[in-house]
């Protein structure tokens, strides 16, 4: 059986890191003009990040857990808290403070996933020959239904709680 070459990213890593790059570009485009948010870029980013989180939560993490005989990866709990914080931040109408907070979380979060010994490398190693069917599932993952923005006090409270659980704070509004 073919072993992945040392130093060469596996196919799951390659695919998911590329999705991170695409999302980073959309977020950059959304904040490109200081003080204002590019709605079109943000709308694409929001749908794309929700789909990406769904791929990890519904396909990648469950596959890794299955390959470990039902035991979740130790890193999974922290990643899920970050996903919860990110998803909550996508609910209200975007502000520069919300986008800056999303950026803060993604900087740390992507290191946990992309870095050496991170989620993606672990998943490639665990998957072995199963990487190909998992990659196919990731590729065909559906878009997630995106709800209209919601600025209710309940949502804002949920954002603060999710951030606190994941160890983050909402940035101050700078405009």
Query: Of residues 45, 59, 101, 113, which one binds Fe ion by CB under 5 A?
Result: 113
Smallest distance, Fe ion to C-beta of residue 15, A:
11
- Binding region for Fe ion (CB under 5 A) out of 39-47, 50-58, 97-105, 127-135: 50-58
Phi, psi of 92 (to 5 degrees): -75, 170
Q: How far is the CB of 84 from Fe ion (least distance, A)?
A: 11
Of the candidate spans 1-9, 29-37, 105-113, 167-175, the one that interacts with Fe ion by CB under 5 A turns out to be: 105-113
Stretch of 41-49, 107-115, 139-147, 164-172 contacting Fe ion, by CB under 5 A = 107-115
Give min distance, CB of 10 to Fe ion, in A: 15
CA contacts within 13 A on the Cβ side of 77:
5
The answer to the question of residue 124 lying near Fe ion (CB under 5 A) is: no
Determine, following the binding rule CB under 5 A, whether residue 121 of this chain makes contact with Fe ion.
no
Nearer to Fe ion, 16 or 96 (CB): 16
Closest CA to 118 of 159, 57, 73: 73
Concatenating the DSSP letter of every residue in 36-88 gives ---HHHHHHHHHHHHHHHHHIIIIIHHHHHHHTTTPPPTTHHHHHHHHHHHHH
Q: Smallest distance, Å, CB 133 to Fe ion? A: 19
Helix (H, G, I), strand (E, B) or coil at 148: coil
Q: How far apart are CA 142 and CA 8, in angstroms?
A: 28
* Chain-centroid distance, C-alpha 2: 30
Residue from 56, 63, 85, 127 touching Fe ion (CB under 5 A): that is 56
Contact residues: Fe ion, CB under 5 A = 56, 113
């Amino acid at each position: 059986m073919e072993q992945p070459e040392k130093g060469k990213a596996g196919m799951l890593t390659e695919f998911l890191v590329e999705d991170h790059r695409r999302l980073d570009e959309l977020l950059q485009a959304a904040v490109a003009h200081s003080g204002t948010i590019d709605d079109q870029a943000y709308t694409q980013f929001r749908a794309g990040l929700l789909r990406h989180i769904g791929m990890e939560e519904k396909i990648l993490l469950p596959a890794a857990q299955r390959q470990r005989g039902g035991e979740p990866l130790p890193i999974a709990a922290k990643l899920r808290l970050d996903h919860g914080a990110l998803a909550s931040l996508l609910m209200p109408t975007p502000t520069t403070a919300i986008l800056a907070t999303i950026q803060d979380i993604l900087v740390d979060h992507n290191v946990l996933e992309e870095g050496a010994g991170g989620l993606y490398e672990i998943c490639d190693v665990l998957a072995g020959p199963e990487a190909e069917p998992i990659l196919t599932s990731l590729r065909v993952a559906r878009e997630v239904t995106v709800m209209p923005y919601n600025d209710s006090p309940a949502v804002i409270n949920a954002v603060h709680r999710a951030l606190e659980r994941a160890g983050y704070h909402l940035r101050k509004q700078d405009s």
